């Protein structure tokens, strides 16, 4: 079978690989499509410390089961599934606290185990034991289901930062995750969703989403526009979905007193520092939150939002490539020419989206 394999930073090859083993304890899935994640773009450029040469990458997948191990319960051939990517150990203090996404012993699919930029994928027994395999109902199309994992990360972040019905939310960064945050916020009942982006064509892609305020941060006064839409108070919540120090530093200027900021995007490890005006945080009683990854419960929530028709997934998916052309997809993401890019391992799926 064909698969995209990591050999080192910037060295990803589409090549023939043996089909995954079908054991008594695993599932084998035929992959319908798999979205390109920021992590995959990192692998295709600077690499990742947890990826070993020879690893099949890709984790934002949907596919149907073609093999069910004799010892596996609750799954049947033909069922469609998606995955929560981080398989937690279940035993460590973080797992015991219910924070499996922060588990230091986790197995990340597509980094520590073979992933889904492939025609077939073996689902490891650990993922089954951890509840990481989530069924997708018929009414959720493949192209929507491939968004469950990135959506789950946005859901985790919005839960942590305390997004609530009736809130106003400003998202900084109009890339794929910014677009997903916008749709998740609306689905969670946010009444005023605003988003800042600096560049085309992302601005044009973001302007297609319904019921949001799009701010061109290169031309417009962000603080003034946010105030104008929030009775001069600022947003209840600001989500920084851009890997930019300045965006993080400026985020506290757009939030109202008593509000909260989510540092959703991460900065490079060689330049992680930012400066905050502590008085704005202190006197404004602001909360500044992190967010990392997600848990199976967030993936199940994502599936539900998609099944309920709450997410305009067709505007989030802007490009499709075949597995052979996966590098075109990486380039689109690197050059900020796309929102989500889907990879289709099988020519048949690619022709009938």
Interface residues with Zn ion (CB under 5 A) are 37, 60, 88-89, 92, 95, 103
Alpha helices in the chain (DSSP H): 38-43, 93-96, 125-129, 142-145, 148-161, 176-187, 202-206, 222-228, 245-251, 278-284, 296-307, 313-316, 326-334, 347-351
CB of 227 to Zn ion, least distance (A): 34
Instruction: Provide, rounded to whole angstroms, the least separation between the CB of residue 132 and Zn ion.
Output: 13
Residue 206 Cβ, how far from Zn ion at the closest point, in Å?
20
Is the Cβ of residue 150 or residue 217 nearer to Zn ion in the bound state? 150
- Which of 22/92 has CB closer to Zn ion? 92
Pick 88 or 194: Cβ nearer Zn ion: 88
Long-range contacts of 277-285 (CB under 8 A, 24+ apart): 277/252, 280/252, 280/253, 281/252, 283/257, 284/252, 284/255, 284/256, 284/257, 284/258, 284/259, 285/257, 285/258
Q: How far is the CB of 88 from Zn ion (least distance, A)?
A: 5
Q: How far is the CB of 146 from Zn ion (least distance, A)?
A: 10
Helix orientation angle between 296-307 and 148-161, rounded to the nearest 10 degrees? 110
State the minimum distance, in angstroms, from the CB of residue 26 to Zn ion: 21
Q: Are 136 and 145 in contact (CB under 8 A)?
A: yes
Closest to Zn ion by CB, 68 vs 123, is: 123
List % helix, strand, coil for the chain (3-state, nearest 5). Answer: 30, 25, 40
At residue 216, φ and ψ (nearest 5 deg) are -85, 100
Q: Which is nearer to Zn ion, 95 or 342 (CB)?
A: 95
Which CB, 58 or 122, lies closer to Zn ion? Answer: 58
CA-to-CA distance for 165 and 187, rounded, in angstroms? 9
Q: How far is the CB of 85 from Zn ion (least distance, A)?
A: 6
37 vs 81 by CB, closer to Zn ion: 37
| Euclidean distance between CA atoms 191 and 230, whole angstroms | 10
Contact yes or no for 294/103 (Cβ under 8 A): no
Give the residues across from 109 on adjacent strands.
113
Q: In terms of CB distance, is 103 or 332 closer to Zn ion?
A: 103
Instruction: State the Cα–Cα distance between residues 181 and 193, nearest whole angstrom.
Output: 10
CB of 42: closest distance to Zn ion in angstroms? 11
Q: Which is nearer to Zn ion, 60 or 114 (CB)?
A: 60
Burial of 66 (0-12, 13-18, 19+ CB in 10 A): middle
For residue 116, give the 3-state DSSP assignment.
Answer: coil
Q: Smallest distance, Å, CB 34 to Zn ion?
A: 10
d(CA 225, CA 172): 13
* 35, 147 Cβ separation under 8 angstroms: yes
- Alpha carbon distance, N-terminus to C-terminus of the chain: 21
Q: Are 94 and 104 in contact (CB under 8 A)?
A: yes
């Amino acid at each position: 079978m064909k698969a995209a394999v990591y050999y080192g930073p910037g060295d990803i090859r589409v090549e023939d690989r043996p089909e995954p083993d079908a054991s008594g304890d695993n599932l084998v899935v035929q992959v319908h499509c798999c979205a390109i994640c920021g992590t995959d773009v990192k692998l295709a450029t600077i690499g990742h410390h947890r990826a070993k040469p020879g690893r099949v990458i890709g984790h934002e997948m949907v596919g149907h089961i073609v093999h069910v191990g004799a010892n596996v319960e609750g799954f049947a051939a033909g069922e469609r599934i998606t995955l929560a990517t981080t398989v937690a150990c279940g035993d460590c203090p973080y797992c015991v606290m219910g924070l499996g996404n922060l588990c230091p012993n986790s197995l990340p699919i597509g980094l520590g185990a073979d992933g889904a930029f492939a025609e077939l994928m073996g689902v490891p027994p650990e993922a089954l034991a951890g509840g990481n395999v989530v069924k997708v109902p018929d009414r959720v199309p493949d192209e929507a289901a491939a968004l469950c994992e990135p959506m789950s990360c946005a859901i985790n972040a919005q839960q942590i930062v305390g997004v609530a019905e009736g809130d106003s939310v400003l998202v900084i960064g109009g890339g794929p995750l910014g677009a997903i945050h916008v749709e998740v916020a609306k689905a969670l009942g946010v009444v005023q969703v605003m988003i800042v982006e600096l560049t085309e064509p992302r601005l044009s892609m973001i302007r297609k989403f319904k019921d949001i305020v799009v701010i061109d941060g290169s031309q417009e006064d962000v603080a003034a526009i946010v105030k104008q839409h929030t009775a001069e108070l600022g947003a209840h919540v600001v989500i920084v979905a851009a890997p930019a120090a300045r965006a993080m530093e400026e985020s506290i200027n757009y939030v109202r007193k008593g509000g909260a900021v989510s540092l959703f995007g991460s900065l490079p490890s060689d330049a992680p520092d930012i400066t905050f005006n502590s008085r704005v945080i202190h006197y404004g009683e602001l909360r500044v939150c992190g967010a990392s990854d997600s848990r199976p419960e967030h993936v199940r929530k994502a599936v539900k939002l998609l099944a309920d028709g709450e997410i305009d997934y067709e505007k989030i998916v802007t490009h499709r490539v075949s597995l052979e052309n996966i590098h075109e997809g990486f380039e689109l993401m690197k050059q900020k020419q796309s929102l989500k890019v889907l990879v289709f391992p099988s020519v048949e799926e690619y022709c009938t989206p």
